[in-house]
Amino acid sequence: MESDTLQRLSVIIPVFNEAGLVGRLLDKVLEAPLSLPKEIIVVDDGSTDGSRREVERWAEAHPAASLRFFHKPNGGKGSAVRLGVAHSAGEIVIIQDADLEYDPRDYQACIDPILEGKTSVVYGSRELDRRNSRRSHLCFYLGGLLVTATTNLLFRARLTDEPTCYKTFSGPLIRALPFEGDGFEWEPEITARLLRLGFRIHEVPIRYAPRSLGEGKKINWRDGLKALAVLLKFRLRPPGILKAGSPTQPVPRLPDESL
């Protein structure tokens, strides 16, 4: 399918204390092959290690890159993503962590189902890609499986990787669907909202190179418990109050989806 040249991808990158990796990550984002132009939105979430200066140096060295940089007091990944989404302009939006666990070369696979009109939400699944010979530490891996299984049980879904970073959305959809979570819990929340509203989440295989806590991984077992609590909370919440805007302003959706 030939892409509309007026379309673009917004890559939202929340950053917290990733001074050693964020420049290399931005190189990969810039070089990622893509059928659309992209805007890069970096949100520094109160880093204390020089991440902000590293992003500024990268921007100075790449003046032609379409990069917008925001910095804010530390509030959590969800708060950084929310700020990035609010400032995005792309017809498609993807979330990119500031580490090197996920490969920007997979952007095209994540956006193709949206460009083809098959869906308006795509998750990149680490479980579907057989190239991923390495797994996260056992507790992270099992925790991810538990969160995914709980999502499927509560919402009658068939996901293989709910906690994936590569969550990709129609731009109008994600900008119209606010979320409350300020930390990592924004992810199960947005999944729960979408499933309660009747959206179909399409999955595609993606590459994954996990890092350990010692290498800077920030999520922990408490975040897993929060994820389970959030899923249950939104399963029990009346669907009428999940919609964006007001009760008379429906969430934008593609023709194959219905509430």
The pLDDT tens digits of the residues spanning 100-126 come to 999 999 999 999 999 999 999 999 999
Categorize the per-residue pLDDT at 2 as very low, low, confident or very high, splitting at 50, 70 and 90.
very low
Angle between helical axes of 51-61 and 22-31 (0-180°, round to 10): 40
Residue 233 lies inside a defined structural domain of this protein: yes
Return the DSSP state at 213.
Answer: G
Percent of the chain past pLDDT 90, that is, above it, reads 75
Residue 257 lies inside a defined structural domain of this protein: no
Task: Tell whether the model's pLDDT for residue 157 goes beyond 50.
Answer: yes
Instruction: Choose among 239, 245, 104, 101: nearest CA to 175.
Output: 245
The burial class, CB within 10 Å (0-12 / 13-18 / 19+), for 235 is middle
CATH code of 166's domain: 3.90.550.10
Residue 198 lies inside a defined structural domain of this protein: yes
Residue 254 lies inside a defined structural domain of this protein: no
How many domains does the chain divide into? 1
Which pLDDT score is estimated for 90? 97
256 residue type, one letter: D
Residue 126 lies inside a defined structural domain of this protein: yes
Residue 4 lies inside a defined structural domain of this protein: no
Which pLDDT score is estimated for 24? 97
Task: Tell whether the model's pLDDT for residue 81 goes beyond 50.
Answer: yes
Residue 213 lies inside a defined structural domain of this protein: yes
Categorize the per-residue pLDDT at 210 as very low, low, confident or very high, splitting at 50, 70 and 90.
confident
The structure tokens listed for 171 are 């731009």
Residue 253 lies inside a defined structural domain of this protein: no
Q: DSSP string spanning 94-118?
A: EE--SSSSB-GGGHHHHHHHHHTTS
Summarize the confidence of residues 226-253 as an average pLDDT.
66
Please give the Cα distance from 95 to 43 (Å, whole number): 11
Which pLDDT score is estimated for 223? 74
Q: Give the predicted TM-score (pTM) of the model.
A: 0.86
Instruction: Choose among 73, 91, 100, 108: nearest CA to 13.
Output: 100
Task: Tell whether the model's pLDDT for residue 143 goes beyond 70.
Answer: yes
Task: Give the range of the structural domain holding residue 44, as residue numbers without chain letter.
Answer: 9-241
Task: Tell whether the model's pLDDT for residue 214 goes beyond 70.
Answer: no
**How far, in Å, are 11, 13, 113, 144, 206 from residue 107 at the CA level?**
9, 13, 11, 22, 9
